[in-house]
Amino acid sequence: MSDFDLAANVTHAHESNDYGALISLFPYAKLLGIEGLPLGDEVVFRLPANKDNIGNPVLPALHGGVIAGFMEHSAMLHLLMIMGTTHFPKIIDFSIDYLRAGHYRDTYAQCQVWRQGKRVANVAITAWQTNRAEPIATARAHFKVDEA
């Protein structure tokens, strides 16, 4: 994938409010079935309920790694959408706090950029299922955003 193609996908996603082509550039995001849902000027990410993502069949509850992967990819996609850059951000660090079980249902994530410098960006991610006020996990991610 060339830099030009990435820029074209980002522009198309913004203009059409269709984030499918952009998300499909990330194989794991595509495997999980992550979707971008426009909400005003922002995008909320959705992880559809999928039996393959269950880690605890007794509850049933989502695997913690799936939740973390969903949140990390949501942050990367969010950053890519708002940066106005032509290259992929690279993950430096990711830290997650699991707050409650992620049950077998759709999961949502919203991201907020805390700081974006010339080389590093910090993103906060919150994931919830039925009520945004009751998150199942929160996370912080740091990305390298310069081209060098």
- What's residue 148's pLDDT? 57
Contact 108, 48 (CB under 8 A): no
Average confidence (pLDDT) over 73-93:
87
Confidence label for 84 from pLDDT (cuts 50, 70 and 90)? low
- What's residue 53's pLDDT? 95
For residue 4, CA distances in Å to 19, 79, 83, 148 come to 17, 17, 15, 17
Contact 79, 145 (CB under 8 A): yes
Six token digits for residue 133? 């006020």
> How far is Cα 110 from Cα 44, in angstroms, rounded to an integer?
5
- What's residue 85's pLDDT? 67
What are the tens digits of pLDDT across the range 35-64?
999 888 889 999 999 999 999 999 999 999
**pTM, full prediction:** 0.91
Average pLDDT, the chain: 90
Average confidence (pLDDT) over 18-35:
91
Q: How many residues does the chain have?
A: 148
> How far is Cα 32 from Cα 46, in angstroms, rounded to an integer?
10
What are the tens digits of pLDDT across the range 94-118?
999 999 999 999 999 999 998 877 8
Pick one of 1.10.3720.10, 3.60.15.10, 3.40.50.2300, 3.10.129.10 as the CATH number of 3-144.
3.10.129.10
Question: Who has greater pLDDT, 65 or 87?
Answer: 65
Confidence label for 1 from pLDDT (cuts 50, 70 and 90)? very low
Q: ∠129-48-110 over CA atoms, to 5°? A: 50
| Maximal C-alpha separation, the chain | 47
